[in-house]
Amino acid sequence: MLFSKVLGFIFSELTMPKRPDGLIRAFGMSGLQIAASMKGIERKYAVDLGWSPSAPSGRKAAEYEQFPATLRAEAARMSEFYEVFYCLENSIRSLVSDILLESEGADWWNSSRIDEKRIREPTQLRRKKEVDNGVTARSDRLIDYTTFGELSQIITDNWDLFEPVFSSKSAVSSVSNQLNLLRGPIAHCNPTDELEQDRLNLAVRSWFRLMS
C-alpha cells in the first residue's frame, strides 16, 4: 500500500541513470518484493503484521474493526477489483457521452440514438427510485444510471458512430458480456477465486485491445 508506493518512489529515484546502480537497485527491488510478500502473508493467514493499515480510515464506520479479520482481509483483496470496474464503467460512460455529444449535440440522450424502452425508461426508473426513497441522487445525468450491459447496447446500437473506435462489433458484445458476468460477484460483494481474477484481468485487456 503506502509503504509500497514509498519504496517504489525511492526505487525509481535511486535507479535513474545518473545514480550508481548495482547495490542501490538491488536494495530497491528487494524492498518491493518484501512488501508484496508481507502483504501476501497477511491476506493468506489473516494476520496483521503492520504492513497494511488495520485501523479504520476515511469514512469507515467506527465498528469496522468488529468484523472478523478474515472478512476484512477478503474485503481488502476484493477492493482492487472493484476499482478496476469502477474505472472501466466510468471510462465507457465518458466515451459514449463524448461521441454522442459530438454527433447529436447537447440533447443527445433524448435523441433517437438512445432506445426509449431498453435504455431511457429503466434509467429514469432507477433515478426516481432513489429520489422517492430519500436517497441523494447519484447524478443528474441518466447515463450514470446505465448498467454495463446497457452501455454495450448503446455502442452496438450506434455502431456507425463507434466503428472508428472499436475493431469489431461482435467482439464488443462478446467481451462486454464476459465482463458483465465477472462483474456480478464483485458488485454483489462475493469473493472470487484466482481463476476468475485472471479472467477479469484478461477481459479488461481484451476490451482495450478492441479500441482501434
Q: What pLDDT is recorded for position 61?
A: 80
CA distances from 50 to 4, 5, 34, 161 (A): 13, 15, 13, 51
Residue 204 near residue 84 (C-beta atoms within 8 A): yes
The string of pLDDT tens digits covering residues 132-157 is 999 898 999 999 999 989 999 999 99
Q: Is the dihedral of CA 184, 164, 140, 83 positive or negative?
A: positive
pLDDT: which is higher, 35 or 164: 164
pLDDT (0 to 100) of residue 19: 45
What's the pLDDT tens digit per position in 93-113?
999 999 999 999 999 999 999
pLDDT band at 25 (very low <50, low <70, confident <90, very high): very low
Grid cell in block for residue 151 = 452501455
23 Cβ contact partners less than 8 Å away, ≥ 6 residues apart: none
Query: How many C-alpha atoms does 186 have within 13 Å on its Cβ side?
Result: 20
pLDDT given for residue 173 in this prediction: 92
Quote the mean pLDDT of the chain.
80
Distance in angstroms between the alpha carbons of the first and the last residue of the chain: 34
Q: What is the DSSP letter of 143?
A: G
Domain range summary for the chain, segments of one domain joined by +: 1-54, 67-210
61-103 pLDDT, tens digit per residue, is 888 888 898 988 888 888 888 898 899 999 999 999 999 999 9
pTM above 0.85, yes or no: no
- Report, as an integer, the average pLDDT of 29-54: 58
